[in-house]
């Protein structure tokens, strides 16, 4: 019998747009929400959206990672449940364990599932056991000379290029592609160091490189009653240094292949005894051959495209599943119609190697209109600090056809006016006009194949001139606009 765990107040153990996103669904269910913040983040937008807020430390970043302080904040405010969002502690199995020990509901998978799937080596074994194809790879490599010998033997058997990967974590960290013996040996040391710094775990392994694949992921939901459903596919192939820039739903695959991959994702989730929302990721070659990649045991940044396409509120389902409720729909009720595109507008300078661009947001005018969704956290007069993620707003658009979605994204990008910080908008404005993108001819080599996308200097100068003029007109405006 499933234990019902009804709660009335949720603490959101995160910041930024994802904290606001979670709060909205929780409040729609009639739940009270508690925000946490560091002193260096005291002007953040998510604090304003919560029913109450607790400062958990001086920051920066360290207190958002402090499990004891977060649990204490929940206890002090009477919150009975904690949602981790993404990033920070979301994939740390010690966090749900500590929540359970404190008598709190963790809105996400149980610790043993996060622990197993957080290890890419264990996750691969789970996938293999279900009959899902995996990319040829090593076990965890021993440090020092034994690991180097095993790496060289793998290279001799499978050839270059090879991917070096961290066993733990994600987000593109600890990953590098190497093309010869010397870069392999150097890369082993660098990846270990990067993995230790990012995840506290320096274990690495090798994987045969799949050239120019499409990066496809499947959104899944699983409840305590044995129900596992998928919400279709997403194409996340447009990446820079293994970090996703643009996400698209559906992935644009042949219908039969889509069905096969979605079925594989459900099998993996069942085998892992999954609970809550998660994402099963694959690499798909152009001939349709696909390989299991990993499972992300959390809400994804790009969940918005799936929500727009299916009409299903993934966060609401997470909350209900955590209360012991079944998924509120069946697989037969999941329908995808049209296309959705999401991109991340960051306070970064694309011309300066995408370096973060903190500073005062002097003017902020966001886009709007039919088929446009904004998930953001900045407002006019907000000072972006250098301490946190540079994401300003996630822009998601819907179109009945792919071309309509592309045209709507171009229009929506042109509708923004942000002064005071550099943003990635001019870079994306070039992508949505690029012929291969318009044809949906996309794989993981897209950014490398299109270096001309950086060529928007003249256009940017004209936009900046207009922006400065508007800034002068609005200099004395007292009521900042927020979405």
Residues classed as catalytic = 298
Q: How many Cα atoms within 13 Å fall on the side-chain side of residue 471?
A: 18
CB of 199 closer than 8 Å to CB of 166 = yes
Alpha carbon of 157 to those of 128, 137, 147, 153, 162: distances in Å?
A: 21, 11, 15, 6, 11
Alpha-helical (H) ranges within 50-131 are: 67-77, 94-101, 111-118, 120-129
The helix (H) or strand (E) run that includes residue 346 is: strand 339-346
Euclidean distance between CA atoms 196 and 149, whole angstroms: 21
3 state SS of 407: helix
Task: Calculate ∠ Cα 168-174-175, nearest 5°.
Answer: 110
The C-alpha torsion from 8 through 14 and 17 to 22, rounded to 10°, is: -20
Residue entry with tokens 């920066």: 60
Alpha carbon of 336 to those of 298, 316, 395, 479: distances in Å?
A: 22, 19, 19, 40
R_g over Cα of the chain: 22
Please confirm whether the linkage preceding 199 is cis (ω < 30° from 0): no
Lookup: tokens for 482: 């927020």
Contacts of 173 (CB under 8 A, 6+ apart): 166, 194, 195, 198, 199
Report the Cα–Cα distance between both ends of the chain, in Å, rounded.
43
């Amino acid at each position: 019998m499933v234990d019902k765990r009804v709660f009335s107040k949720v603490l959101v153990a995160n910041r930024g747009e994802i904290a606001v996103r979670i709060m909205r669904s929780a409040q729609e269910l009639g739940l009270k929400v508690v925000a946490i913040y560091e002193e260096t983040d005291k002007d953040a937008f998510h604090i304003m959206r919560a029913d109450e807020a607790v400062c958990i430390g001086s920051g920066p970043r360290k207190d958002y990672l402090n499990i004891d302080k977060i649990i204490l904040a929940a206890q002090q405010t009477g919150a009975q449940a904690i949602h981790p969002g993404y990033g920070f502690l979301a994939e740390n199995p010690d966090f749900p364990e500590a929540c359970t020990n404190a008598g709190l509901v963790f809105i996400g998978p149980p610790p043993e599932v996060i622990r197993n799937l957080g290890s890419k080596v264990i996750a691969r074994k789970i996938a293999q056991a279900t009959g899902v194809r995996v990319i040829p790879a090593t076990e965890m490599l021993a440090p020092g000379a034994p690991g180097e010998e095993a790496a060289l033997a793998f290279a001799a058997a499978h050839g270059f290029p090879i991917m070096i990967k961290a066993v733990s974590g994600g987000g593109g960290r600890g990953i590098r592609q190497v093309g010869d013996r010397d870069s392999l040996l150097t890369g082993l040391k660098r990846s270990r160091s990067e993995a230790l710094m990012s995840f506290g775990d320096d274990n690495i392994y090798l994987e045969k490189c799949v050239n120019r694949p499409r990066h496809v992921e499947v959104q899944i939901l699983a409840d305590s009653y044995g129900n596992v459903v998928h919400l279709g596919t997403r194409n996340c192939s447009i990446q820079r240094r293994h970090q996703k820039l643009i996400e698209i739903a559906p992935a644009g695959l042949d219908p039969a292949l889509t069905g096969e991959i979605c079925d594989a994702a459900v099998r993996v989730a069942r085998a892992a005894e999954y609970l809550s929302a998660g994402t099963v990721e694959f690499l798909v070659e152009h001939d349709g051959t696909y390989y299991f990649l990993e499972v992300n045991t959390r809400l994804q940044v790009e969940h918005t495209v799936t929500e727009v396409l299916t009409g299903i509120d993934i966060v609401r389902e997470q909350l209900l599943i955590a209360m012991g409720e079944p998924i509120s729909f069946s697989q037969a009720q999941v329908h995808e119609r049209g296309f959705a595109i999401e991109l991340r507008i960051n306070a970064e300078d694309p011309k300066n190697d995408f370096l973060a661009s903190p500073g005062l947001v002097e003017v902020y005018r966001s886009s709007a209109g039919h088929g446009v969704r904004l998930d953001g956290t900045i407002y006019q007069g907000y000072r972006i600090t250098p301490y946190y993620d540079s994401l300003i707003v996630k822009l998601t658009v819907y179109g009945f056809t792919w071309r309509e979605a592309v045209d709507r994204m171009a229009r929506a990008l042109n509708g923004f006016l942000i002064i005071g910080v550099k943003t990635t908008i001019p870079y994306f404005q070039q992508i949505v006009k690029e012929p291969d993108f318009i044809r949906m001819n996309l794989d993981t080599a897209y950014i490398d194949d299109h270096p001309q996308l950086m060529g928007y200097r003249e256009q940017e100068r004209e936009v900046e001139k207009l922006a400065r003029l508007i800034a002068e007109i609005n200099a004395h405006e007292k009521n900042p606009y927020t979405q």
